Amino acid sequence: MSATIPAVVLGGTGYVAGELLRLIAGHPQFQLAAVMSDSQPGEPLGTAFPHLASIFADTRFKSQAEVEKLIVGTPQAAVFSAAPHGVSAALIDSLLKAASGAGTRPRVVDISADFRYSSAQAYEAVYKHPHGAPGRIGEFTCAVPEHLQKLETPHVAHPGCFATATLLASVPLLALGLVPPTLFVSGVTGSTGAGRKPIEGTHHPVRHSDLYSYNALSHRHAPEVAACARAASGVEADFAFVPHSGPYARGIHVTVQASLKSPLDTARVLAALRDFYAGSAFVRVTDRAPRVKEVATSNYAHLSAAANGRTVAVMCAVDNLNKGAAGGAVQWMNRMFDLPEDSGLTAPAPGWT
């Protein structure tokens, strides 16, 4: 496809939306058509994102009604939803109903949790409120692009930031039968992972020069990781997940540990990881331990491993806003429109953030 593709961002004032806008600004074929914000309709985009003001100087946030009008008049569009979970599903449902009535066919990547589960009951058990569009669940597939060769549904649910890093590290171990289906995960995330609205856990004086765990063994993303791992590897696995808040803004570092079924050394585990991700443009397996600064702001994932014959540890570093959210969504949308998967996503990390 060579024509310009209209891009629409829903829930347009948060950190992930800002990262989507930054990536769309540099994309060779996606062109921003609308940014929806019901809280700030008519306001200049630069009010929420001063760093993007010079690029989108004449762009203003649109209401839901304005966005639906645009979708109705656009044969195909790339729709990215950065709306919160519990809000995104109903918003997407309304937009798709309007498109269906007009005979247009937008493709959607939802970055919220609303379409990550295979049933409304599974979603409601974790998020404790009714699903906003249960009839749409079957139209979405939840996976990281590296783990699904062919997409069978019209739309995608992005697995999220902690899930992306954990899945990249753990799925090869499960799919290759190297470990039993019990994995122990320790992850550290930057403060942007908690969203734009300040809360106790993200307030800088609290988080600065500190490190602490939260929701140990009860984090709501653990069931999502297990579901995606099962779909990607065919193995029903248990993930004992302990997340931590790190004293930095961007990036995630995850360590996945498990017992080995058969003795393996580090070299053989690294070789297995390299072979598993041989065709993946954004996954790099290195001998040295991955560092957050080497991937922060980029769509790349760095993996490494260590093994002592009895136990294996796989480490993964990704950027939570890019590879773990906006970049992964653009990567999926590239595939959905038959574009090169790395279009608009090849910029390396600056290294000194």
Instruction: Look at strands 252-259 and 78-81 and give their pairing.
Output: unpaired
Q: Can 142 be counted among the known catalytic residues?
A: no
Q: What is the dihedral of CA 124, 20, 24, 138, to 10 degrees?
A: -10
The residue behind tokens 């609205």 is 197
Q: Where are the beta strands (DSSP E) in 203-345?
A: 212-213, 238-245, 252-259, 283-285, 301-307, 311-318
Q: Where are the beta strands (DSSP E) in the chain?
A: 5-10, 30-35, 78-81, 107-110, 140-142, 155-157, 182-189, 212-213, 238-245, 252-259, 283-285, 301-307, 311-318
Please pick, among 142, 161, 228, 316, the residue that the annotation labels catalytic: 161
In angstroms, what CA-CA distances link 265 with 17, 269, 288?
Answer: 42, 7, 15
What is the C-alpha to C-alpha distance for residues 120 and 132, in angstroms, rounded to an integer? 9
Give residue 236's identity as a one-letter amino acid code.
Answer: E
Contact 335, 287 (CB under 8 A): no
Q: List residues with catalytic annotation.
A: 161
